[in-house]
Amino acid sequence: MAAIAFAQVKFIKLPLEAVEAPLAPTPAMKPAEVSRHPELSGRFARIPGRQALFIIDRQGYRRLIPFPLTFIHLFKDACALQDVLLTTYVGNIAEGPSLDDGAVLMRGSCSECIYLLDQGCKRLITGQRIMEKYGFNETAVVVVRQAIIDAVPTGEVWE
């Protein structure tokens, strides 16, 4: 498993500096004003010159993705990073809790429902559209006994 993860990691390249600003700041993004930005949900974001990678959740909070293994366990390959919001305004997006270092996608053996296991809770991913919006990797879903899924506390829906 470690060899596979290492092989995948070497193909993920994060440019440190933006060649051009891929997204102009929205009117709500004023300098030194930190707020939620739900209109950016599903986007990956990074501050130029920093390695930290964030995903914007449905409520508009930026959530740190512990890189690289959590990224590999949850998201599609490096092609998902082609649409990274790379601007200094990322710091103006309110920061939510980071994803767990061991966060995984899972489903029960008797169900088609996929959950994000994060922060000690299972968070239902409401469908294929949400899987695609966030770049979740369906082939990375771990199938476990239904009893295990049923025993995990239910958290907020991930949509």
Could you tell me the residue ranges of all domains in the chain? 2-16+26-92, 104-151
List, for residues 127-151, the tens digit of each pLDDT value.
999 999 999 999 999 999 999 999 9
Two structure tokens written together for 86: 């790379």
The length of the chain in residues reads: 159
- Rounded to two decimals, the pTM is 0.77
21-47 mean pLDDT:
72
Q: Give bridge partners of residue 123 from the DSSP assignment.
A: 116
List, for residues 55-105, the tens digit of each pLDDT value.
999 999 999 998 788 888 899 876 556 678 877 788 889 999 999 998 999
For the four alpha carbons of 70, 76, 78 and 83, in that order, the dihedral sign comes to negative
